[in-house]
Amino acid sequence: MLALVGSGEYLPPIAPLDRELIRRLAAPVRVVCLPTAAGAEGHARIDYWSRLGVEHFTGLGVQVETLPVIDRTSANDPALAAAVDAANFVYLSGGRPDYLHRALEGSLVWQAILAVLERGGLLAGCSAGAMIQGEKFFGFPGWRTGFALLPGATIIPHFDELPQSMLRPIRLIAGKDLTILGIEGNTALVQTAAGYEVLGSGGGTVWNGGGKTRYSTGPLPSWMDSL
């Protein structure tokens, strides 16, 4: 499974969503939280995300640890990669998408994350952690190539917080070949073997050449499978 979260990681309003994701995994569930996207923001922010993730998932009754994957060097640490590989739920919290992508691209930790997915585990990414999973993402500066776990798409988190004056230029820059997937706070677009669905308290917007449609909780059209 792949869960792309708009915002709100580790906070009480998102607990029902994460509880549902946990329910769908084979027991025992082992979560690893990676604060990588905040790696350039200093120790205080790294510690904040690390502590919040452990407190959140401990409260949901599952085994959890935060791994100090905060830069390119730590992303290539064999011991940290092995710890990721032993999990079945990997969570990438928010921060800078460009920094996160550079740290993980081609690394041992990213290979371990892909192995978790191949075994039927879950990768959840919130905000920056969601953005880098599309074919392209808007980084600093300009458009960057993502991991393309959703080819043909660009993921826009915090979609309910962004003004239309910001969204229109993004739509124009994305061009006709990219589908924008806008994800609201406390909400996830979830990809499973059965297709796509929206989970959480908000909605998800699909915006392409065919128009702009918002979906609330539930399955998305089968044509999403072509992404």
pLDDT digits (tens, 9 = 90+) for 149-200: 999 999 999 999 988 777 777 777 777 788 999 999 999 999 988 889 999 9
Residues in the chain: 227
Looking at residue 140, what is its pLDDT? 67
CA angle 210, 206, 222 (to 5 degrees): 80
Indicate the pLDDT class of residue 218, thresholds 50, 70 and 90: confident
Per-residue tokens: 64: 């959890």
- Of the chain, the percentage scoring pLDDT greater than 70 comes to 98
What is the side-by-side order of every strand in the sheet holding 2-5? 63-66, 30-34, 89-92, 122-126, 2-5, 187-192, 195-200, 218-219
- For the whole model, what pTM was predicted? 0.94
Q: Among 18-27, 56-65, 156-165, whose mean pLDDT is lowest? A: 156-165
Residue range 90-110, pLDDT digits in tens: 999 999 999 999 999 999 999
If one counts the domains in the chain, the total is 1
- Residue 186 and residue 72: Cα distance in Å, rounded? 29
| Structural domain boundaries, residue 59 | 2-226
Residue of 201 and 167 predicted with greater confidence: 201
Checking if the pLDDT of 29 tops 80, the result is yes
Looking at residue 176, what is its pLDDT? 78
CATH number of the domain at 60, please: 3.40.50.880
Indicate the pLDDT class of residue 80, thresholds 50, 70 and 90: very high
Q: Among 20-29, 49-58, 108-117, 138-147, whose mean pLDDT is lowest? A: 138-147
